[in-house]
Chains A and B, each alone.
Chain A
Amino acid sequence: MKVYINSINVWLQGLNDEATLISWANNHLPLPEVFALPKPQYYPKGQLRRLSPFSKVALHCLDMPQALTKNLPLVFASQHGDLAKTVKLIKDAALGEDLSPTQFALSVHNATTGLFSIATDNTAPTTTISAGKNTFIEGLVEAAMQCQHNDSSILYAYCDFDVPEEYHQFEARKPARCIAMVLSFKKESESLASINLALNNHDSTNKTFSLPDLTFIRNFYLQDKKLIQNQNYAVSLDFS
Chain B
Amino acid sequence: MADTRTTLKSLIIETLDLEDISPNDIIDDEPLFGEGLGLDSIDALELGLAIKKAFDVKIEANSEKTKEHFYSINNLVQFIEQN
Contacts and interface: CB of A to CB of B under 8 A. Distances in A.
Interface stretch (A99-107, A119-127, A176-184, A193-201): A99-107
A45 B53 CA distance: 28
A49 B18 contact: yes
A49 B16 contact: yes
**Interface residue SS majority, chain A:** helix
Contacts of B38: 46
A102 B16 CA distance: 9
Contact of B42 (A48, A98, A102): A102
B53 A49 contact: no
A193 to B, nearest CB: 38
Contacts of A50: 17, 42
B3 interface: no
A100 B16 contact: no
A101 B49 contact: yes
Interface in A38-60: 46, 48-50
Interface of A: 46, 48-50, 98, 100-102, 105
6 contacts: A48-B19, A50-B42, A98-B52, A101-B42, A101-B45, A102-B43
